[in-house]
Chains A and B, each alone.
Chain A
């Protein structure tokens, strides 16, 4: 699906946000990205969804170099990538139905888009909302929903878009732990059913290790490790979060074995008390 080699991203005169990132993600793979805030995870996701352009290095999608894409070709490529954001990035003043149907905008002609604002194809949106568990919110105004419900609307929008890959950038950082677990499993199950590639950027190490078969640690714009969850040792995590305020919090939770996410997390080697 993705092949990155030696990708670098610099904003203005700052230190590079990403440097020397090489990574391959196969079709249908589920990968969790972890690391302290400011490590460059969000920048990486914005490169992967073709919002940003690498300063240097090569980004291939299915073997195609996306640097050359432009105009209609770029739009076609973006259509195949669905993104879920920490802040939902929905249009609050629109009804839920329109936010969900907006997933179609990459495919629709302008006249279809206009027509849909007046007579939305509600059945399509309703089906997607059914899948994420809030069918009754179809006609609600989006900014009247809770944070968790808005995140479900954002997932429904991606379902309508029907992309090949789903990028979820900190999808559960603004919801409580039990809801976080629900949303992560929802994302995982939905992508599994439709054989989509799923890349998730997670604030919680516990969720990442418990639910994803491949863990990529990012620190200071570089990939620190790329391992299966049972190969991720406390030492690696300690180094990943070293000097960051949430380091001890993250690690203590795993050491104590009482996660916020209940018993669903399987015990990991090296983390027993």
Chain B
């Protein structure tokens, strides 16, 4: 049986084959002997090639939320992806980087002007949320092509703050 999941925004295909009572999982070119033993309502031991890995999981809204060795993962069917799930990182699409507010807060300072050249890791704007100042840095070298906010302004989560067009490499 084939399963396709979007794991924290990264697509992975897993095939599960049953032969008798044992299962194998195929991921890319890797094949694992696999077994899952429930140990509680939301916990199980995943046996992967004989190694025991405790996992915790819960189903929510058609997604499987997992915790493995301290890391959080959300496994969702690719179709169910809302598009926002990629997180709050500066998204660079076709050479255009849009800096968005990580969460509701207040713009403390805008460090750049439209037309200004910026470098990777340069702090572009500071947004305060939960009493801490969050420095929003550029992920690319480029030129500021739009500034949508000013200092003191309240912003919502995911609200675009400014745009940077990436320099030609």
Q: Do A and B come from one complex?
A: no
